[in-house]
Amino acid sequence: MVVEDDVLVRTVIAEALRDAGLRVIEASNANEALGYLASGEPVDLIFSDIQLTGSMGGVDLVRIVREKYAHVITVLTSGGGAALAEGHPHFIEKPYELPDAVARIIGLLGKK
């Protein structure tokens, strides 16, 4: 799942992941992502921007996902630097090279 409020950024990374053979769900904010998770549909990984519009950002989303959906791998991204990730183990700084981000996500899914 790609969680990103910038539609252009979300579309580009989602399409690149689809081109790599992954099934991708898109969410424009954390509440939309949590709603999808609550539906029971399978999600293996969430790639989320830290700064999202809406009631919560990516760090809060990851905290909730870790508590309720511990099996889901979480990857944070931001242009604000790794410090915003609060020690999160999987962080990709913006602007990222698309092939590198896709390779990292595929690598994480392979470790599952």
Three-class secondary structure of residue 46 per DSSP: strand
pLDDT in tens, 44-62: 999 999 999 999 999 999 9
CA nearest neighbour of 74 among 36, 98, 104, 54 = 104
Q: Where are the domains of the chain?
A: 2-110
Q: What homologous superfamily does CATH list for 2-110?
A: Response regulator (3.40.50.2300)
22-47: average pLDDT: 98
| Predicted local confidence at residue 42, as pLDDT | 96
pLDDT in tens, 63-82: 999 999 999 999 999 987 66
Kindly report the pTM of this predicted structure: 0.93
